[in-house]
Chain A
Amino acid sequence: MNQKLKIMVVDDEAIVGKRLKPSLESSGYTVETFGDGRSAIARLAKERFDIVITDVRMDDVDGIQILEYVRANIPQTKVILITGYASVDLARRALDKGAFDFIAKPFKPGDLRTVIEKAARAPSA
């Protein structure tokens, strides 16, 4: 909570990254945003992130694949999934796969901050 947490936001909706970056940075986090799963994973291979926040449904490489990559390669990193309301039960199943939490669209920046704080407090797996 004291050190700057490194957060990655992955969503193919450009506006999500555009708004969350300044919003989360103003809370003291370091934020990098990506518009697709492939470049996000490429970045994860190079840089360590504390929290990865990713949309579940994306073309090509989706949020589940990112989750699987993280659990396999960098298990200390926590993954938070962004889901559409309709697929909440998919998110629940993803929790079994090792995701830390999920948040359903549409959400406010404040809601996301709450979840991030929860993740920051939780001990590393």
Chain B
Amino acid sequence: MTDDSGHTMNKAPDRPRESMCVYAPMDATECKSATADRHTGIQQRACFPVRLRLILAFATIFVYCAGVTLWTIYVLPAVHHKIRFLELADAYRHETAQMRRFEKNYFLYGTHLQDALLHTQKARSILADNEADILKVMSRGRLTAMQKSLASYAAGLQKLAGGHSPEVRAAVQHRLRKYGHRLTADADAFSIQERRALDRTFSLLRTGPLILLAVLMVILFAAAWHINRKIVTALGRLTDFTERIAAGDYTRITLKKTCRDEFTQLATAMNQMIDEIEKRQEILVQSHKIRAIGNLVAGVAHELNNPLNNILLTAVSLQESYADLPPAKALEMLADVVGETERSREIVRNLLDFARQREREIKCLDLVEMLGRAIRLVSSQARMSKIRIETCIPDNLPPVHSDRQLLIQLFVNLLLNAVDALSQNAHGRIAVTVDAPTQAEYVAVSITDNGPGIPRRLQDRIFDPFFTTKPEGRGTGLGLSVSRNIIEQLGGFMRVASEVGKGATFTVYLPVTRVPH
């Protein structure tokens, strides 16, 4: 199965190896070269590391926030400017209002003409001084019109100041009223326009941040989702993978990402680590085998004593009675010597066969012969503890493809465990049974002892490396974990059935070789 981040993770350590990996190859040598190929292939992919992604994400957020800040820095002075400008517009309106007031006063009471002129002047200077700014908010035409009106109004006042006849006065008054009215309207419009502009700006200032916040939320959400997908999910999957390794499943991760990043490096490093672990596991299996050999050697040495004794007795007897011995009897004794020597050879050969280191060789094996050899190896151990080994092996067992060394080592491990379990037992019995139902995928080999049994709470832990209930120095705790490792290498699995006081049965399931028709 693949996930969307591109790593292939395979589950089910209980199922046989063949159906487990779609991508990872079957045996060790093929796997190693495949890993090497994948290593070189990966170097050629583009590099888009997680670090770069994070930097980009944070940079984007920073740029965005900087943009918002800069925008604020721009807008506030603009607002400030607008307020100042509004004050200007209001000032202009104030001047025009004042000039019209004094105009009315003059026409009513004949006073304050100079005041009117003063304010008119002030109004003109406001327009003149701020022409540039005013042109930003209104057209030159409108401004010119205002200035012209103002000029005409001022001219009218000047005329009044310079002395006049009643007809001129009436004409001027009419004119003043006309322009004055226009000026007041213009000033009001100007002021209102600016007030409205300021209101709009404030409105923008109110809603702008909310929109910017919403955009920021989208950006953050996208960044978080992306980080979660790339980093957190990938980490979770790698954690699962690590747990799988710890449980003894050494399938490699296959890398299918289109770009190379830190997780690719991590996965590659972990695959290398698994290579190392497998090597160590090999060493462990070997060293445990040597320990097993040590266990067996005592039994074998003891066993050798018998043929050696027979040879010695026969040869010395032949020496002592040589003179009077009939040739037929002498020949019979020599035949005994030869027979006992051959017997010794078998005993030694069996052990050497087991001890020898050989390359893995998967062959079609006769299960009966394998079991026979394993039982033979432990038989003197068993006899020393007065344990009886009984077998119930049917004929017509289906063929099993396996490595001979590993298979025998597996059975020897389990048998030695049974012998150990029965060491305190007066009537120890070990039963070796084979069950091969037709059409089944597996052959089941069961080794049952009538020992003290294994408590249910320990049944999961007994396969853990270094777990042992034997007293200090007696057991390494590696036997069952090595056995489990072997059975998994052979494509099978192992089960234990036991109750306290009722003995234990270890069942090894070996895959059957099916030849397609």
The interface of chain A, by Cβ under 8 A from chain B, is 13, 15-16, 18-20, 22-23, 26, 57, 59, 62, 84-87, 105-110
Contacts A15-B314, A15-B336 given; does A106 touch B308 at CB 8 Å: yes
Choose from A23, A84, A87 the contact partner of B317 (Cβ within 8 Å). A23
Which 8 pairs, one residue from A and one from B, show the smallest C-beta to C-beta distance?
A106-B309, A105-B309, A15-B310, A19-B313, A106-B308, A105-B305, A106-B312, A84-B305
Q: Are A105 and B317 in contact (CB under 8 A)?
A: no
| Across-interface contacts of B383 in A (CB, < 8 A) | 57, 59
Q: Are B317 and A109 in contact (CB under 8 A)?
A: yes
Chain B residue nearest to A106 (CB atoms) is B309
Distance in angstroms between the alpha carbons of A109 and B321 in the assembled complex: 12
Distance in angstroms between the alpha carbons of A87 and B306 in the assembled complex: 13
Given contacts A15-B336, A107-B309, A108-B316, 6 further A-B contacts (CB under 8 A): A15-B310, A23-B321, A86-B302, A86-B305, A105-B309, A108-B312
Q: How far is the CB of A116 from chain B (nearest CB, A)?
A: 15
Q: Are B321 and A85 in contact (CB under 8 A)?
A: no
Q: Are B384 and A110 in contact (CB under 8 A)?
A: no
Q: How far is the CB of A15 from chain B (nearest CB, A)?
A: 4
B112 on interface, CB distance cutoff 8 Å: no
Chain A residue nearest to B318 (CB atoms) is A19
Provide the main secondary structure of the chain A interface.
Answer: helix
| Across-interface contacts of B320 in A (CB, < 8 A) | 23, 109
The interface of chain B, by Cβ under 8 A from chain A, is 298, 301-302, 305-306, 308-314, 316-317, 320-321, 333, 336, 340, 383-384, 386
Q: Are B314 and A22 in contact (CB under 8 A)?
A: no
| Across-interface contacts of A13 in B (CB, < 8 A) | 306, 309-310
Choose from A20, A26, A57 the contact partner of B384 (Cβ within 8 Å). A57
Distance in angstroms between the alpha carbons of A13 and B336 in the assembled complex: 12
Q: Are B312 and A107 in contact (CB under 8 A)?
A: yes
Q: Are A16 and B317 in contact (CB under 8 A)?
A: no
Q: Are A15 and B298 in contact (CB under 8 A)?
A: no
Q: How far is the CB of B223 from chain A (nearest CB, A)?
A: 74
Distance in angstroms between the alpha carbons of A109 and B302 in the assembled complex: 20
Q: How far is the CB of A87 from chain B (nearest CB, A)?
A: 7
Most chain A CB within 10 A, of B313, B333, B336, B386, is at B313
| Across-interface contacts of B306 in A (CB, < 8 A) | 13, 84, 105
Q: Are A19 and B317 in contact (CB under 8 A)?
A: yes
| Across-interface contacts of B313 in A (CB, < 8 A) | 15-16, 19-20, 23, 106-109
Q: How far is the CB of B326 from chain A (nearest CB, A)?
A: 12
